[in-house]
Amino acid sequence: MRIAAIAMMIPSLLAACAPTSGDVGPSASGSRPERQCFDVSQVDNFRQGRISEVYLKVGRNDVYRLDAAGGCNDLDFAYRLAILPDGAGLSGSRLCTDDWARLVVPGSTTPASVCRVRISKRLTAEEVEALPAAYRP
């Protein structure tokens, strides 16, 4: 009897959480920018910017800035890296702005260095042009 009552309440509870056309919130007002996403397999190149910045070239023209929590050791001399989304398995290999990930870099003194990064933003063409040449992937 209880199971039937609970089963009947689930659809109404889910409907109560659904957005309506009259909702006014960050996404409805347009004040929150749309998240830009990429697949890890689309990353073609990378460069370290300042000590806490990493720039990824994704696909043909996109450049994303990642901000490290701390710094990323051995990245300035690395020829390769692995990007592991936090919560791997939930998001697969897709990363979006404001997501967290881990960069794994073969180390010079240790087998590998790991640093945690947040995908900050996809740069506009003007922002990419304004980057110093050494930072441009």
Q: Is 13 left (phi over 0), alpha (psi -120 to 50) or beta?
A: alpha
In a domain? residue 55: yes
In a domain? residue 2: no
CA atoms within 13 A on the CB side of 115: 22
- Domain region containing 43: 37-130
pLDDT in tens, 75-117: 877 888 899 988 755 667 889 999 999 999 887 777 888 889 9
**φ, ψ (nearest 5 deg) of residue 89:** 105, -35
In a domain? residue 10: no
pLDDT in tens, 40-64: 999 999 998 888 899 999 998 899 9
What is the number of structural domains in the chain?
A: 1
In a domain? residue 117: yes
